[in-house]
């Protein structure tokens, strides 16, 4: 399981774009990059996953440079309801994988009105 | 509703009590998990079941006893707990063990040990 490093906390005003960068220098060839979101007193929720370049869905975008040693989760025009902890995880996402999801400390995003 | 239902949502128990947490998933997933989240700490993986077989037990004290009677149900039996066991207990399921996407978590049981 590749070690990841992400900021402990971030603050943002409503309506701004928020970028959370995660470092994963020892990412392996088969590893995927996955982000989860957790609201207070709830379980984490899958947001987005990618392998390389850019992935976009209705919630966020994920930018992955060519060397894949880091990734950036981008949340467009955040609102107060985006206040949560965001977790970056790196590991195998193939059927042959045998590693369960293990979470780090994540990034606590606080959106201010 | 996420498709993973946990009951009860809140539980207060004494240190000599025996109680059980229940988790049920209607997603057709083959793997189920118990996580513990203490205040201001990362999620801790406790137990993993794949196709009803326990595949991982992360050095969890024996006062926590999991049970997976079928692929849709997961229990966590509690007995003689300590106050430091007070936490949010989360159940999750995934299509297959080892995948990083598709984890679906329940809303958790907030446990208080008095």
Q: Provide the pLDDT confidence category of residue A90 given band limits of 50, 70 and 90.
A: confident
| B60 at A interface, C-beta within 8 A | no
Nearest to A89 among B45, B100, B105 (CB): B100
Query: Which residue in A has a C-alpha nearest to residue B31's C-alpha?
Result: A100
Q: Give the pLDDT score at B70.
A: 92
| A89 at B interface, C-beta within 8 A | yes
Query: Which residue in A has a C-alpha nearest to residue B100's C-alpha?
Result: A93
Rounded to the nearest 5 degrees, what angle is found at the Cα of B12, between the Cα atoms of B11 and B14?
135
Contact A103 B56 (CB under 8 A): no
Residue A1 pLDDT > 70: no
Q: Give the pLDDT score at B101.
A: 66
pLDDT in tens, B21-37: 999 999 999 999 999 99
Contact B42 A49 (CB under 8 A): no
Cβ contacts of B102 on chain A, cutoff 8 Å: 46
Contact A94 B4 (CB under 8 A): no
Measuring CA to CA, how many Å separate B59 from each of B10, B44, B52?
A: 25, 11, 19
A30 CA: distance to closest CA in chain B (Å): 12
pLDDT in tens, B48-105: 998 888 887 778 999 999 999 999 999 999 999 999 999 999 999 998 876 666 789 9
Q: Give the pLDDT score at A101.
A: 73
Q: Name the burial class of residue A113, with classes exposed (0-12), middle (13-18) and buried (19+) by CB atoms within 10 angstroms of its CB.
A: exposed
Sign of CA dihedral B25, A33, B36, B51: positive
Nearest to B99 among A42, A97, A106 (CB): A97
pLDDT in tens, A62-78: 999 999 999 999 999 99
The fraction of chain A above a pLDDT of 70, given in percent, is 90
Q: Provide the pLDDT confidence category of residue B110 given band limits of 50, 70 and 90.
A: very high
Cβ contacts of A36 on chain B, cutoff 8 Å: 103
């Amino acid at each position: 399981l590749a070690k990841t490093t992400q900021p402990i906390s971030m603050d943002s005003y409503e309506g701004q774009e928020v970028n959370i960068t995660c470092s994963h220098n020892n990412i392996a060839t088969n590893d995927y990059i996955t982000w989860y979101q957790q609201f207070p007193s709830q379980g984490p929720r899958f947001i987005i996953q990618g392998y390389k370049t850019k992935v976009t869905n209705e919630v966020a975008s994920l930018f992955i440079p060519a060397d894949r040693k880091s990734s950036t989760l981008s949340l467009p025009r955040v609102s107060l309801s985006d206040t949560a902890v965001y977790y970056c995880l790196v590991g195998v996402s193939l059927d042959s994988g045998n590693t369960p999801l293990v979470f780090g400390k994540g990034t606590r995003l606080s959106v201010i009105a | 509703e996420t498709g993973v239902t946990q009951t009860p949502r809140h539980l207060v128990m004494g240190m000599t009590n025996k109680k059980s947490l229940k988790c049920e998933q209607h997603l057709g997933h083959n793997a189920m998990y118990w996580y513990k989240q203490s205040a201001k700490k990362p999620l801790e993986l406790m137990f993993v079941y794949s196709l009803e077989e326990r595949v991982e037990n992360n050095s969890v004290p024996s006062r926590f006893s999991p049970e997976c009677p079928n692929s849709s149900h997961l229990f966590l039996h509690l007995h003689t707990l300590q106050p430091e066991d007070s936490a949010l207990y989360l159940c999750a399921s995934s299509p297959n063990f080892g995948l990083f996407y598709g984890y679906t978590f329940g809303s958790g049981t907030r446990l208080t040990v008095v």
